[in-house]
Copies of this chain bind each other. A is one copy, B any other.
Amino acid sequence: MPKKNKIREGSIRTTSFDVAALAGVSQSAVSRAFKPGSSIAAETREKVLDAARKLNYVPNSIASSLTTHRSNIVAIILGDLNNPFYTHVLETFGRELQARNRHILVFTLNEDMGTDDAIMRLLPYQVDGVILTSAQLSTRMVGMCHDRGIPVVLFNRYIPNTGAFGVRCDNPEGGREIAEAFLAAGARTFAMITGDPKGTTSKDRATGFMDRLVDAGIPRSDIKAYEGSSSYEGGAEAVKAMMADGAKVPDAIFGINDIMAMGAMDALRIEYGLKVPDDVMVAGFDDIPEGARPPYQLTTVRQPINRMVRATIDLLNLDDPHAEIDLAHDCPIKGHMVWRNTIPGPKPE
């Protein structure tokens, strides 16, 4: 058990040369031993680590970041962990950034901390970039990051009227594909369960869906919308609101994301004894693994998470801090219709 900490008390620090001398290796071998992914023989690495342990040595990224102005840290602002989509997103960023020797400073938003506050807190860390998965961000805060040369990339959303796009799936097109599938299966009355009203993702999916239906001659009055707060519970509540409306059960319900569609399916079946898809068709969006489980077998649009994550990292230009950040880059990535059992149609995959 440690008694007193020498480092924190300001003693002279051992250097990589001391470690190299004790281990009987070159100084560059010491650097490589501490750099994940470097080419170094396992035996050499063991020697270095043993010597480092004896001398109480580790490289100091904090000190070196003062000269390089690079911390190798990327901040991720996570808005909503109630939607498992973002857990999968975090895991994918973890894998991809760690493979590039970058590490994640994570900020979870809640009633005590909004996006602007998170940005205020991360600015002092000289992060190499910011990935934002939540909707709200003031223009001032985007400006403060840009002034300091810190790229901000929006993930799964954009900020209207700012020219700030970011990486996202082609949401309107996905909405249109779901509408198309419902129409082909014979649906003529519809409900949508919408997500974050301030987010662009929900709006874009709903717009694509509506537009395609209206094009097909469906009266707008036959397309109802209910708020579902992007959560399982919200999806279930939306179904209850729909049923309390006294309206006839629609032919088809589009959950703007999978987790709401799952909550809706359970409410339809358990609260109201309805069968999916026989009594009512359902579709989601995202293709979270949870929606593929046997009780749901949800037909949905797959967001290409791996591609989206890699595109986000590319936009951050981590290896070239002086690169111009192309925040106006607007190239949505096409999703992919995944047929399972909640809309009659092509055989499930």
Q: Considering the chains assembled together, what is the distance between the CA atoms of A140 and B148 in angstroms?
A: 39
CB-CB contacts below 8 Å: A1-50 with B: 1-10, 34, 36, 49
Q: How many copies does the complex hold?
A: 2
CB distance from A46 to the nearest CB of B (A): 10
CB distance from A113 to the nearest CB of B (A): 6
Cβ contact of A90, chosen from B108, B293, B322, cutoff 8 A: B108
Size band of the A side of the interface? 35 or more
Q: Considering the chains assembled together, what is the distance between the CA atoms of A235 and B66 in angstroms?
A: 49
**Binary per-residue interface labels of chain A (255-290) against chain B in the complex, 1 for a CB within 8 Å, 0 otherwise:** 000000000001100110000000000000000001
Contact A107 B94 (CB under 8 A): yes
The stretch from A96-104, A171-179, A204-212 touching chain B is A96-104
CB distance from A287 to the nearest CB of B (A): 16
Interface status of A306 (Cβ within 8 A of chain B): no
CB distance from A293 to the nearest CB of B (A): 7
Q: Considering the chains assembled together, what is the distance between the CA atoms of A150 and B9 in angstroms?
A: 11
Contacts of A332 in B (CB 8 A): none
Report the nearest B residue to A52, measured CB to CB: B144
Q: Considering the chains assembled together, what is the distance between the CA atoms of A65 and B124 in angstroms?
A: 11
Contact A149 B5 (CB under 8 A): yes
Interface status of A338 (Cβ within 8 A of chain B): no
Q: Considering the chains assembled together, what is the distance between the CA atoms of A322 and B124 in angstroms?
A: 25
